[in-house]
Chains A and B, each alone.
Chain A
């Protein structure tokens, strides 16, 4: 640099990331697919938070939504149907330095991966989980999912889904140690982004259910909500998801809800008269398993060798 000696290493080290640093292949989702809106929000968050791409890992299962890691220019793990959460917990277990995101679908998370959903919530390892809920199995071309509305057509239930759907919010809120549960809608990018931002800042596992449009296989499912925003109950609170004036203007049906109040959150989730959007529950003091799994990380090799030798010596005859 001008004025400095050559061997003075004062190159500015600060890296500045722009959106393009997070953008990879052109997404191959259908036009109008809600997945694209969430992808953009995630990329904006990464840019705003200046997450180093090499320190960011997006883990997914299998489904349309689970293709998302391919469109991020970060590390990614597009694994098995239903199993992104165990993988993400493993990534996190010994790498507190990484930013971990999980992308999953209503089939991926609420059917085949249900056991992992429950336990990952309980482990509460720091990561952000995005549940793309389009109420249908899309990648496999329209089968009933656990969140499909009763009576809706699919190729596995041509006479209509036989049962009432499972509610991912109520289930998650009921799991011991749930520490961050929010809901958002893919057709309001501002709210999606604000929600992901709050989730990423949360010290623990943040779970976001995203009502996601699938114009290809389930075009009608969120239409009533889109057409009549009063069917949505916007949760507002100083500790909640920040909702600016444009959002507040659209969603006039608002409820002041303190996310610390878990039992109120459960009532809101269970209510059938409106669909909640916002932060239902947050507890920044919930126990975190990733503190336990990271134990011993700083141990030096010679210390470790000594400990192993001592252990072997216990078996000397």
Chain B
């Protein structure tokens, strides 16, 4: 997707009808933010705006704006709560750069957005005007000062009497302003309000008709007010798809993936930003016969899961960095004793407690290596919200086929971002068949490794003649404890061989852009949309840059040597820490690389470079673009 340029002015557009006011802009994409004090409902309004836009056929990507504290003081600079909604003519894959339109419930929360460069000169602001007449002189002053500052920064300011208008309908505007603002945005973006009404009905179903009516009235009032008072109209054309679409965030997608994979047991311990997977499952899992266990800690959570796995039920555990660290001993057992399990790691900022609510891609090396001994296992990373669903289904299948743990690395960006995607059609054969309780052939060992693939079949308790004692000690094919050198060498080889077996079934990844050029940008996980958008922009200016996105990180996807050969330079772009190449205090010998760069350097021996940042927010395409231009001398 290209930069937020105006496609044309409404008055030049062939589809201009007489109803279109002269101030209609037709754009290929637009970014709008709604920010408020926490508790004022900007998040709800933002999500609804996103859903309604998806319903109308736009591409959508929403990002939660979350304050650092749970209950920050009102009108606080660090207290912004809300949503960014990026809508486009085509599918939207990332949050984009600066916002085009921002609705703010007070001027102070806006500063927290300015601080992270979420605004730009020219951003259109709709700001609550009541602060100008606040009884508190300090507030009036703050407001006046801020507005003067905003003007200086070049924002287009519309002061809007939000509260005053809401008071005509509800007694407490703190509950309701968000709906009024939603109405305002619907007018500006020419949204069909009947979709909004339907959303409200759905959302407040349980709260009763009165609440629904009040919210509908607020939306309609905001809509009418904007039609009357704001001449600006922004039209983002749609390119509707024939397939039915669903809208959800990555954690919901993963949770539905868990259900659709036929997984029956989710054993977890709460940790941000993974918890909402379990919240969703806790409410829905029983409908499809599943069970969620909240254990006393993460070690117990995975232990419980592996007990279920041993007894024939492939389980899932969901966690984030610190919890993942606690699970590493059991993960090694799952590798050693070949127990299927899906481990979803929703990555957050580290190290230690780090940035609990924020995005980072800091667990790749941990996923690959952080366990006692050699732990060959499958690691995959969805790059879109849709993939959060499908990869979970695939992960269960791989865990069973390859008899071991499969780690699925998502992150806070995918977890909380919302986007529409084609409604998945659940296949009956995605669900695990009932566990095999037929008699086991006693001549077959519990680890009868096929020398060519390393694969073997496992007996399940209940199967006659299949009795074996699973052990984390070195063991032979019969699961007998064995300290002999050759047996250990062979067992390690067999467990490792399974990765080669999977590798042989994989297709090389597709290069995005030309298959050769000056620079190849390699990414993994949630950065794909932003990287590809940055690459598009640079290519439009003649830059010979392409992108490659890896989804399976262990075993690494095939064909990398061939692909790398065709580029002069290769670099990764990641959201994790690396020393900058030009850091005056770092020498090349000690430079610490970004995590995928380490892996690719070791795997291909190519001089893979990297550019990585840990801003606690997704990398905007503009920042990546600037780095690519710098590297290409553009």
State the A residues within 8 Å of B (CB). Answer: 24-25, 52-55, 57-59, 69-70, 72-80, 83, 85-95, 97-98, 115-116, 118-119, 292-297, 299, 301-305, 307-313, 315-317
Contacts and interface: CB of A to CB of B under 8 A. Distances in A.
B462 A69 contact: no
Interface stretch (B85-93, B257-265, B511-519, B597-605): B257-265
Given A70-B469, A305-B426, A315 B246 contact: yes
Given A78-B471, A317-B420, A83 B303 contact: yes
Contact of B311 (A69, A94, A292, A315): A94
B55 A94 contact: no
Interface in B286-336: 286-291, 293, 295-297, 299-301, 303-313, 315, 329-330, 333
Nearest to A98: B461
14 contacts: A76-B470, A77-B310, A77-B469, A83-B330, A91-B307, A91-B308, A93-B291, A93-B307, A94-B308, A296-B291, A313-B423, A315-B246, A315-B248, A315-B423
Contact of A304 (B244, B245, B431): B431
A8 B604 CA distance: 66
B342 to A, nearest CB: 14
A56 to B, nearest CB: 8
Given A54-B465, A75-B461, A80 B329 contact: yes
B589 interface: no
Given A57-B461, A91-B461, A311-B284, A86 B300 contact: yes
Contact of B299 (A83, A118, A301, A317): A83
B245 A91 contact: no
B426 A308 contact: yes
B237 interface: no
A80 B300 contact: no
A305 B431 contact: yes
Nearest to A55: B462
Contacts of B291: 93-94, 292-296
Given A77-B469, A80-B472, A299 B288 contact: yes
A267 to B, nearest CB: 29
B245 A86 contact: no
A309 B265 CA distance: 19
Interface residues of B, number: 68
Interface string B198-216: 0000000000000000000
B415 interface: no
B295 A86 contact: yes
Contact of A309 (B297, B310, B426): B426
A236 B262 CA distance: 50
Contacts of B158: none
B423 A316 contact: yes
Given A79-B333, A83-B330, A98-B461, A54 B469 contact: no
Contact of A55 (B244, B309, B461, B473): B461
A188 B480 CA distance: 31
Contacts of B245: 316-317
Contacts of B433: 301
Given A59-B307, A87-B307, A308-B288, 6 more contacts: A54-B461, A79-B306, A94-B265, A296-B288, A311-B256, A316-B246
B426 A312 contact: yes
B267 interface: yes
A296 to B, nearest CB: 3
Contacts of A97: 462
A83 B300 contact: yes
B289 A116 contact: no
Contacts of B248: 315
Nearest to A70: B469
A93 B256 contact: no
B247 interface: yes
B21 to A, nearest CB: 28
Query: Max chain A CB contacts within 10 Å: which of B256, B288, B465, B473?
Result: B288
A93 B426 contact: no
B184 to A, nearest CB: 22
Given A75-B469, A78-B471, A93 B308 contact: yes
A97 B313 CA distance: 14
Interface in B76-128: none
A303 B290 CA distance: 12
A92 B471 CA distance: 19
Nearest to B299: A83
A309 B256 CA distance: 10
Contacts of B303: 79-80, 83, 85-87, 90, 116
B51 interface: yes
Interface string B492-517: 00000000000000000000000000
Contacts of B288: 296, 299, 304, 307-308, 311
Interface string B262-291: 101101000000000000000010111111
B548 interface: no
B424 interface: yes
Query: Max chain A CB contacts within 10 Å: which of B245, B464, B470?
Result: B470
Contacts of A305: 426, 428, 431
A315 B247 contact: yes
B54 interface: yes
B468 interface: yes
B265 A93 contact: yes
Nearest to B262: A304
Contact of A54 (B244, B305, B313, B467): B467
Nearest to A25: B480
B481 interface: yes
